[in-house]
DNA sequence: TCCGAAAGTTAGCCTAGGCTAAGAACTGTT
DNA sequence: AACAGTTCTTAGCCTAGGCTAACTTTCGGA
């Protein structure tokens, strides 16, 4: 008998396809903010303070880039800075950070559950987390609940 | 007994974390090229030709943007153009397109297998595909093989 | 054949997110 | 109190990837 061929998926309607790409671009635009606020929250919790230098080191980016990016986050009402004493999150930033962290951890646990090694799971989660919809995250959570109890 | 708390994940070493973010940025940089060559390949296969105008419509982007982006793809040796007769893939572009399509389809099938509805799977796959490592894809394939036969 | 519509390009603009190099501002230690 | 070393900002640069408006080129039908 013939090997099961994957079904040839015809082109989606142009409008629908365009909408999907638009969603993707939207997610890309928010990814940096999510990563920054998540990192700032982690630093505040684990180290007691979130210095721009440390954000730069951990993001793998120059201090100048952090200054510029934090400027945008500030403009967008997510972050506050007290020069020479670190970065802080607004209520909105805190909310975003909490959601980002939950999402991040869920994605990591899910990837491990489907057989990925821990380090690769961490690597991939850093990117994947920004493109998993709420519905996808719910599916991941369901999957974990079912097989972990 | 207490609810199982998720393990508090301490901060990863700065270098490792920076490397993860770098990987993520790298994936972001190649995402557009992957989507374009995949779409061009799809159009060539399904419609016989890949016109810039159709790429613009399906990407949800202006024709001017397509001109500019295709210029970069050409510069990078992925695409060739015959004005007023469409876009074509170089051997390298074809290779990338084939890989992109395989990855895309695998991610869609995997998402559906873990319980996501088809349309959301298509939406999310458009972004997720660019951030799943080969190891992750292998894990997804394994998962599908196990439970689908 | 010719001429309007479609396809494609060009020009000029914008933002995000990178970089380096240089300077300013603060802090902790002596 | 001073100053060395950190931390942070500024200035100036770059590319990708968006946009609109206006132009040119081609194609096809009357
Ligand atoms: Mn991330
Ligand atoms: Mn994250
Ligand atoms: Mn995609
Ligand atoms: Mn795709």
Protein residues contacting strand D, judged by Cβ under 7 Å: A 25, 51-53, 63-64, 66-68, 70, 81, 83-86; B 29, 31-33, 59-65, 68-69, 72, 83-85
Domains of chain B by residue range: 22-148
Chain B 59-88 residues in 7 Å CB range of strand C: 63-64, 66-68, 70, 81, 83-86
Closest among A149, A147, A135, A129 to A30, alpha carbons compared: A129
| pTM assigned to the model | 0.94
Alpha carbon distance B129, B26 (integer Å): 14
Note the residue count of chain B: 149
Pairing of strands A87-89, A79-81: antiparallel
Q: Could you say which of 3.10.20.740, 1.10.1740.10, 1.10.10.10, 3.30.390.50 is the CATH number of the domain covering B22-148? A: 1.10.10.10
Per-residue confidence in pLDDT tens, chain B, 149 aa: 444 445 566 899 999 999 999 999 999 999 999 999 999 999 999 999 999 999 999 999 999 999 999 999 999 999 999 989 999 999 999 999 999 999 999 999 999 999 999 999 999 999 999 999 999 999 999 999 998 76
Q: Which chain D nucleotides are covered by protein, judged by CB under 7 A?
A: 6-12, 16-22, 25-27
Pairing of strands A79-81, B79-81: unpaired
Across the interface, do B124 and A105 touch by the CB < 8 Å criterion? no
Shortest-distance ligand to the CA of residue A39: 2
Q: What is the pLDDT of residues A36-81, one digit of tens each?
A: 999 999 999 999 999 999 999 999 999 999 999 999 999 999 999 9
């Amino acid at each position: 008998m013939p090997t099961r061929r994957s079904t040839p998926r015809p082109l989606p309607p142009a409008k629908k396809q365009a909408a999907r790409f638009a969603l993707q671009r939207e997610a890309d635009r928010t990814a940096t903010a999510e990563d920054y606020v998540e990192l700032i929250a982690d630093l505040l919790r684990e180290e007691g303070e979130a210095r721009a230098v440390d954000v730069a080191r951990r993001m793998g980016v120059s201090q100048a880039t952090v200054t510029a990016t934090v400027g945008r986050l500030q403009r967008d009402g997510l972050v506050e800075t007290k020069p020479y004493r670190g970065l802080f999150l607004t209520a909105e930033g805190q909310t975003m950070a909490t959601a980002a962290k939950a999402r991040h951890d869920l994605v990591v646990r899910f990837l491990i559950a489907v057989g990925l090694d821990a380090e690769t799971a961490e690597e991939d989660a850093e990117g994947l987390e920004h493109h998993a919809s709420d519905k996808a995250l719910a599916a991941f959570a369901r999957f974990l609940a079912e097989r972990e109890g």
